[in-house]
Structure 1
Amino acid sequence: MPLAVYFCTGDLRGREDEWAHCGLSIPLYTHFTSPLRRYPDIVVHRTLAAVVEAEEVYVEKRHSSAASDSDDGIGNGCFTGLCFDEEAAESEEGREALLSAAVRYGVPTSKVVSEVAAHCNERKRASKHAEQSAEDVYLWALLKSKEVIFFFFTYYYYYLIKDE
């Protein structure tokens, strides 16, 4: 199973099938824990808060300018719902609402997100390597003192006698 990695969805535009979570077998997945622990988690929290606010601002502007008897699909989650409204996001009101919310919440650009994701992935790999190296050194020290060998043979001998 591949190691989980952070990535910017903008880097995989047109390759959405690569966003899947292999363990959960779902097409779209985002994971974040406490924003106190990881910078990528903070970015996800900020982005979600900005998109929710932008949608509220956009819907409010559209409702105030729309005729009361027209039904143009406003309020169906144009930015946050299951049916993302690309026209709404690309409209002048939508872009203005999204940009304003992104600035307000300090959402970084996709280029910065890509760089941060690459850095976090590299640090995670380095951490795994350091952990494995420490375990190897500890095992080497135990083997050198022959404590583990004695324990292993005692354990193995016990199961040989038990099976007879």
Structure 2
Amino acid sequence: MTLKTQINEDMKTAMKAKDQLSLSTIRLINAAIKQYEVDERAEADDTKITAILTKMVKQRKDSAKIYTEAGRTDLAEKEAAEIEVLNRYLPERISDEEIKTAVDTVITMTGATGMADMGKVMGVLKTQLGDKADMADVNRILKEALTAK
């Protein structure tokens, strides 16, 4: 079953269950997919849908952070709940420890010695980790590792 089919089936289930949070979030997902398809005049495959979902999660994390800083915990909680729904369709993320292991391996493999080599190392990590890790976390861990050298 494709990701798009799964999302549509889950929308029907959410309608029947009267799960308003899931339903509204899934409708947002469908809108983002349709927007991509209209803009690019192409069918969205699982890879592109995963990229769209990842972008949506990042937007909600940023919004939740802003809401929390502004003292609007009600809105931050809503964003966090939407992130949970979005994460249902994303591949399982790896832990910080697994990211650190991958970072150390790539630093050794590329011979990186400092921050000047960050782009080279990040390029390799991006292809290795793909959708399995949040690139913001990878970036943070890589900076820590390179500044320690």
Q: Tell me if both proteins adopt one fold, taking TM over 0.5 as the criterion.
A: no
TM-score tier, shorter chain, comes to: under 0.3
Bigger radius of gyration: 1
Q: Which has the higher contact order (CA 8 A, sep 6+)?
A: 1
Structure having the higher helix fraction is 2
The two structures have a TM-score, normalised by structure 2, of: 0.27
